[in-house]
Each structure stands twice: as structure tokens, then as C-alpha cells.
A and B are shown apart, each in its own frame.
Chain A
């Protein structure tokens, strides 16, 4: 340890120590000269040997190398700028991807003690849900010792504030939610467990900073004000701070105490019903308790719960605990998506590095003289190698810095565009910086090591290495371009192809009978009244019932079934006989349901084709739940309303039964434009029961929302594809330029001997024929393999779509051709006599 400090001292006072050493040796010289045993030899070199003992020589050399590298890079600005550009993009894309992941899954929320916050989820080998019945949450809360606090949240439909046009978003939370998160109200107070944890407490609301500013002009006197939410009076008690960080990205305009939910949603029995999974459960692990221990304790509690409600707890049910103190609670599927994105951005980095590696090799030629001289005056090959690699590192670090800047700019723009919560910042934190450093090193190793080795050895650069680099680069670009092409085609299909159902003239009405505690019979009565009232409105063509709200954001349920040996997502719906006419879904074979029919089922065209091939599906049995047996009465045209971009999805329709009535939504098809009808439908639905707050939506807006999500995804991938193609272009032109410069003499001889210019040009370009073909073939092959994972996002496009593949290959051929031709033209301008004299 002492030795280390002495070493540090030598570092700090290097100049003084060096001076002393020089004096010592000078004295030695003088003395030995006096004793007539004169010494010769390079004093400087001897001193350097002695200094090496201090252990800081590497740093001196590094500084020297950096200094030299800096000068070299400044000396060829053209190369430096293009290299930095390529690197900034290649590395920047990687850093952006990581920053995003960091933001979502790694950065702790700015709340009190985020590490101990967990999300609890019901699981069994074949069921997963984060929605728990409130009575179960109460049970776990009462009996768990491993959780020192339990919080719950429940989403709700937007509510009317006074008589505003724009409804406000609402969340119900347990009264300890804010105090557990350490939230401080800038005005008023937050919910308090001792006051708002009772159903009979005076109704109160906490409003968001945004709503406070927007609706109440930031007026502090809003505290104590009486407002009406869905006509229910409540007192505003406080405002959440601007930088409020809520769990799992749940935000709303208004926060209401969960205990008062039955008051705000009149008639609701949600909280009392042990079979109604509707709240999300959060907890805080007790000190020193691991998630595993808590899971074990909760498992035994689940088994206790089974004794109380034997039929409500699933077989092998357990509570799964996930870290909750991040922006999003990560699920394994989300990690899969993250891995896919990571693979994609790494491909881009590889392309960038292959590209730059090619340029570096090419540059080695121009530096042959310089390196030859340095070797001649005594530099070791190791030293030359180190010097060259230091240059690469320098480039990579500058690239990394630019990449961090780029990613910050991209994130900043994206966060502003999606109106992200105010506490989320795009500024890179230490994790991002660390990754930037790491990616920089990896990039330097990828593009710098091999060329540095080659140049230091002064080997004639092998054509084969260059060709492999070109091929690899083309392959990578090819993969990206094909993926982009497939997604763009899919979006195009969704937007412009006939989706198999009509949405332009259809409105949805969801009276939310279930949330207001309707019985099946009451729901039936309500729905038939509503239907008959709506049907007589002039301009209404037909009215139907559908259990699944269509083209509306919200939960989607599907089952994964095995059909013809392949697992596909089947989207079920429970509908009435008018459904197919209202949604303009053609019945291809058989018929629609009859009124009051049971044990019948209609499947979609692809379902029928996959399951029974060419055989007639009508009358065939379809098993459901292993108990009831349904016969197929019809085959409907494919209509992937619920999964527009999943080309593999199939649909199954059952006739809605009396038990389904509380959950039904209404679909109304109009003859003309439906927009005018929305308020009218709302007032009719409200008029039938004043405690209801039905939501009415246009199916076409839902359709466009889904399509625009897809469009954004496709645009992103296209952008990445273009980046890759542009980089491939730069890389190819660099390599061709290099080949031309290396073979100038040969070309000059050929031209002198009477070869035509076109022939010489062909010789240059021919060298890149095989890498081009191999790269494109390998790229298409890999893309064909990988794109199978994209199937679920590709609507109506095969992942082997020939048009996409051919056009990607054509684009690449064109780019490669142009990129190669521009530098190759130099051959045509070769001054024969000069070229021959030169060497």
C-alpha cells in the first residue's frame, strides 16, 4: 500500500524526480570520465529504462499516442468526419435503446425507498393476472408478515367533471398510496389512511397538477372546493406534485380513495365480490425480507384462502412478486421485446464497425510510408499497433460522446412528443454513461483491432478480409431492410386493404352495466330497451350486441390454441345474431346465430381452413372448457378486429347467453356518417338509467389509432433500415476507392497496352461481385429465418413476401452499384504516364 502511494508521488512529481535521476546519471558520467572508464550509450534511453520502474511509462505513452492520434485524425478531416458520423449513429442507436430500457426498467422511481416496492400478481401454471379481488387483497394484507405495507390501485372509466365536454381520467387508490410513496402535496393534503380508509368517510378527491393548472388555473383556493364527478359531489383536498411518480406508469387527472368506490360508481359491488378481480396489488417488503421468502409466505396464505373460497382460488395458484419501483413492472414478454430490439441495434453497430473497419484497412495503405519510417527508426511493432489502436479508441470515444448527445436529443424529443410524466428526464445517468463507454470499447475492438494488427505487421492487406467485411455489411443491411419492408407492407395492408369488417359507419356504446352492479335480468331489460330506442333513430341501419368492446383501447382477452400443430391466438367474442350484419362481416358458409341459440359456434375462415383443411366444417363439434360441446353453424370471413396486425389470429364467436348481458356493449351501424349520432346515443343510454355513465366511441377512430401505432413502429424500423443502407453505401465506396488507389499502376499498364476504359472499370467492380452476392444471399436467408418472430405483427403479409425481398435486394444492389461506381470512375481519369512514373 505504501508502495502504491510512493508510486503516486512519482506520478505527481514526475518532472522533479526525472530531473533528479538525470542529475544522478550526469554525475555518474562525470565521475567515470574522471576515472578514465568513460561510458557511452544513449543517456535518454538509459534514463527511460530507469523511469520504467516507476510504473507510469504506459501513461506517458498513452498520452503520446493520444496526442499523435489526435493530430493524425485532424490531418485527415474527411475520414475523421465520416468515421465519426458512422460511429455516432451506430453507437447512438445502441445508447438510445439502452437509455430507454434504463428509463423503463432500471432507474428507480423517485419515491420513498423504491427498492422495497413490489407488485403482486396471481399466477398458476396456465393463468396470469395482475387483477385481484379486493377481498383477497384485504386477506393478504391482514395476514402477511413479510409485507410491511399493502397498497392497491384500481383503474376506472373516465368520469364527467361537472358538465365539461372532456371527461377526466380517474384512478382509485388505497388511502396509504401517496403516503407510502412519500408524495408531498404542493397544495392541500394527500389521502390519509386514518381518514379516507372508510367507505363512509366524506367523499374527497386529490387532483393532478396538470388538471389543477388546466382546469382550475393553478388557483390554491381550489382546496375545499366541491366538484361533481359523474354528478357525485366530492371535495378537493389536495394536488399531487408536478413531478409525482406513480407506480407502473399509472397516471390520472383525479385520484379517489378506493374505499369510496361504491359511492362514486353507484351500485357497484366490485369491492365486495370475492370473485371480481379488479384491483392491482402492491406491497412493500419488510426489512431484510427477500421476494422469495415473501412468495413462500404468500403461497401458504393462498392455500388458507382456498379453504375460505374453494372455487375462487385456482389450482396451483401462487402469488408472484416483481420489483415494482421502476417506471414499468417488467414481464418476461417485455424482456423478449427488449432482447429483439437489442439484437437489432447490435446489428446496426456491427454494420457500422464493419464499415469503419474497411475504411481503416484502406487508410492503412496511405499510411504505409509513415509507418515504414517509424519502424525504420526503431519503433516496435507492438508500439505501432498500440498507437493505431489508440487512434481507434479515440475515434470510438468521440463517437460515443456524440452518441450520448444523439440519444439525449432523440429521447428528449420522444418524451416531449408522448407527453411523459414530468419527473422522467432524458439526461443520461451513470448507467447510460457506463454503457456508452463499454459500447465505445466494443466498437473500437470491432473496427480497430484487425486493421491495426494488419497495418502494424505491414502485411499486404488481404483482399479476402476486405471482401468478407463487405459481405457482412451487406448482409446486415439486407436483414434490416427486409424487416423494414415487411413492416411497411403490413401497415399498408392494415390501412388500405379490406380488413374484412366495416368500421367507418359504426359506433360503440358501453353502458358498463357490470360496474354498476346490474343483474343479468336487469341488464337484459336495459339492453332491449336501449336497442329498441336506438333502432328507430332515422339513419340507423342495424344494432347489435358484442361482449368485447371493439376498436377501443382496453383489455383484450385471447386464448392461445393449438391448431394444426401451430399455436395461434384465438380471439373469442360473444355476440347476438345481428352482429355480423352490423360489422359487415360476411358469413362465407352456413348461417348466423338464431335468436336464443345455444351450443352453436361460428369460426373464422382461417380457423376453419387450418383445422379442417378442405373438409366441410359445418356441423363439426368444437370443444370448449372440456364440458360443453358446440357445433359449428357458420364460417365468417376473417375479421381481426381485436388483433389487426396479427396475420395468424383467428376468431371464434359464440351466441351471447343471458349470463353475458351485464358485460355487453352495443354496436350501431349508420347509413351515413356516424359522428353526429354519438351525443344522441349517449343521452339515450343515460336517459334509461341516470346512474350510468356510458362511453360512446367511433370505431373508425379506434381503427386509426391502432394503425398509427403500427405506422410509428414501421417508420422507426424503416429509419434504422435506411441508416444501415446509408452506412453500407459509405463502406462500399470507401473500399472501392481503396482498391482503385492500390491498383492504379496495374490499371495504367492495362490502359497503356490498349485496354478500353470500360473493361478496366469492370475489373474493379468485378472484385465486389462475390461479396455482394454472398452478402445479399446470407442477409435474405437470415431475414427469412428471423422474421418468423415478426409474424404476429405482420398483417396480411407473409414473412417471406417475395415483393419485399426483391425490392430490398434491388435497393441494396442499386446503392451498392452507385456507391461503387462513384469512386471507381477515378480509373477513367488515370493519368497513365504519371501513374507509371510514380512507382
Chain B
């Protein structure tokens, strides 16, 4: 996965609602048709960074297994960051595509 992509994916899956850490990893895994697997070693540092930047907040909730656990919720700053990240990604993607098509 290219650097910064994981952060973008996390922000994207959080857009539809608050999730706990494991659910974020699962959602990415499922949505990518099981192509992407997010390891703890990458997930939690990235989540810490998102919290620190103020793109998401953490709040206590109850998991499907009835356990008290932290849910991550996107903030408005996070939404803006997602827009920025997406458009940057689009640009990059198109540029790469353009090169790949014509070269």
C-alpha cells in the first residue's frame, strides 16, 4: 500500500459512521474483496495520527460482542481532510494512468 493510503481508507470507511478499530480493519478487508489486510502494526499508529491531527475523535461504545470499546468518529476537519486526500489521490491516479496508457 502506498504511504498515506491507509489513512485515506480509514477516513473513507469512517464516513458512513463510527467504528471501532477491529471493525475498520474488517471493513477495509471486506470492501477490498479480501485483497487488503490491515495489520495492527499499521492500523493503530495511523489511528493515533488521525486522532492527533483532530480528523477523528474516540468515544466509548459497546461492541457487537458486548464489550466496552472505543469507537472512532470522523470530525468535520476529518471530512475536509478526506476531500483533500481524495482529490489528491485522483490526480495522482490519473497522472499514473496517463503515463501508463501513452508510454
Interface of A toward B, CB cutoff 8 Å? 2-3, 6-7, 10, 20-21, 23-25, 27-32, 34-35, 39, 41, 46-47, 49-55
Contacts of A50 in B (CB 8 A): 44-45, 47-48
19 further contact pairs, Cβ within 8 A, besides A3-B52, A49-B41, A53-B45: A3-B53, A6-B51, A6-B52, A10-B52, A24-B20, A24-B21, A24-B70, A25-B44, A27-B21, A27-B69, A28-B22, A32-B22, A39-B40, A46-B44, A47-B44, A49-B45, A50-B44, A50-B47, A54-B48
How far apart sit A199 and B52, CA to CA, in the bound complex (Å)? 77
How far apart sit A24 and B59, CA to CA, in the bound complex (Å)? 12
The answer to whether residues A53 and B48 also contact, given A20-B70, A27-B69, A31-B22 and a CB cut-off of 8 A, is yes
Minimum C-beta distance from B46 to chain A (A) = 8
Interface centre among B43, B48, B63, B70, by most chain A C-beta atoms within 10 angstroms, is B48
Contacts of B40 in A (CB 8 A): 25, 28-29, 39, 41, 46
How far apart sit A144 and B48, CA to CA, in the bound complex (Å)? 67
Contacts of A39 in B (CB 8 A): 39-40
How far apart sit A34 and B63, CA to CA, in the bound complex (Å)? 14
How far apart sit A50 and B47, CA to CA, in the bound complex (Å)? 8
Chain B, interface size category, equals 20 to 34
- CB-based contact A51/B48 at 8 Å: yes
Contacts of B70 in A (CB 8 A): 20, 23-24
How far apart sit A178 and B24, CA to CA, in the bound complex (Å)? 78
Is B82 part of the contact surface with A, judged by Cβ < 8 Å?
no
- For A50, give the chain B residue with the smallest CB separation: B44
How far apart sit A39 and B52, CA to CA, in the bound complex (Å)? 26
Contacts of A49 in B (CB 8 A): 41, 44-45
How far apart sit A10 and B20, CA to CA, in the bound complex (Å)? 20
- CB-based contact A21/B48 at 8 Å: yes
- CB-based contact A28/B52 at 8 Å: no
Per-residue A-contact encoding for B29-55, CB less than 8 Å = 1, 0 else: 000000000011101110111011110
Contacts of A46 in B (CB 8 A): 40-41, 44
Closest 5 CB pairs of A and B: A50-B44, A53-B48, A31-B22, A50-B45, A28-B22
Minimum C-beta distance from B47 to chain A (A) = 8
Contacts of B49 in A (CB 8 A): 53
How far apart sit A283 and B70, CA to CA, in the bound complex (Å)? 71
Contacts of B26 in A (CB 8 A): 35
How far apart sit A39 and B40, CA to CA, in the bound complex (Å)? 9
How far apart sit A29 and B40, CA to CA, in the bound complex (Å)? 9
The answer to whether residues A27 and B67 also contact, given A39-B40, A41-B41, A54-B48 and a CB cut-off of 8 A, is yes
How far apart sit A32 and B20, CA to CA, in the bound complex (Å)? 13
How far apart sit A523 and B21, CA to CA, in the bound complex (Å)? 106
- CB-based contact B52/A7 at 8 Å: yes
How far apart sit A28 and B54, CA to CA, in the bound complex (Å)? 23
Contacts of B53 in A (CB 8 A): 3
How far apart sit A150 and B44, CA to CA, in the bound complex (Å)? 71
How far apart sit A31 and B48, CA to CA, in the bound complex (Å)? 20
- CB-based contact A31/B52 at 8 Å: no
Contacts of B6 in A (CB 8 A): none
- For A2, give the chain B residue with the smallest CB separation: B54
Contacts of A6 in B (CB 8 A): 51-52, 54
Minimum C-beta distance from A37 to chain B (A) = 9
Contacts of B45 in A (CB 8 A): 49-50, 52-53
- CB-based contact A24/B69 at 8 Å: yes
Interface centre among A7, A21, A35, by most chain B C-beta atoms within 10 angstroms, is A21
Is B102 part of the contact surface with A, judged by Cβ < 8 Å?
no
Contacts of A2 in B (CB 8 A): 54
Minimum C-beta distance from B81 to chain A (A) = 12
Is B65 part of the contact surface with A, judged by Cβ < 8 Å?
yes
Is B25 part of the contact surface with A, judged by Cβ < 8 Å?
yes
Is B13 part of the contact surface with A, judged by Cβ < 8 Å?
no
Is B58 part of the contact surface with A, judged by Cβ < 8 Å?
yes
Contacts of A25 in B (CB 8 A): 21, 40, 44
Interface centre among B26, B44, B67, B70, by most chain A C-beta atoms within 10 angstroms, is B44
- For B63, give the chain A residue with the smallest CB separation: A27
* 25 contacts across the A-B interface (CB closer than 8 A): A3-B53, A3-B54, A10-B52, A20-B70, A23-B70, A24-B20, A24-B44, A24-B69, A24-B70, A25-B40, A27-B21, A27-B67, A28-B43, A29-B40, A30-B65, A31-B65, A35-B26, A39-B40, A46-B41, A49-B41, A50-B44, A50-B45, A50-B48, A53-B49, A53-B52
Minimum C-beta distance from A118 to chain B (A) = 53
Contacts of A3 in B (CB 8 A): 52-54
- For A52, give the chain B residue with the smallest CB separation: B45
Minimum C-beta distance from B90 to chain A (A) = 26
Contacts of B47 in A (CB 8 A): 24, 50
- For B72, give the chain A residue with the smallest CB separation: A24
- CB-based contact B25/A28 at 8 Å: yes
How far apart sit A29 and B20, CA to CA, in the bound complex (Å)? 13
How far apart sit A21 and B43, CA to CA, in the bound complex (Å)? 12
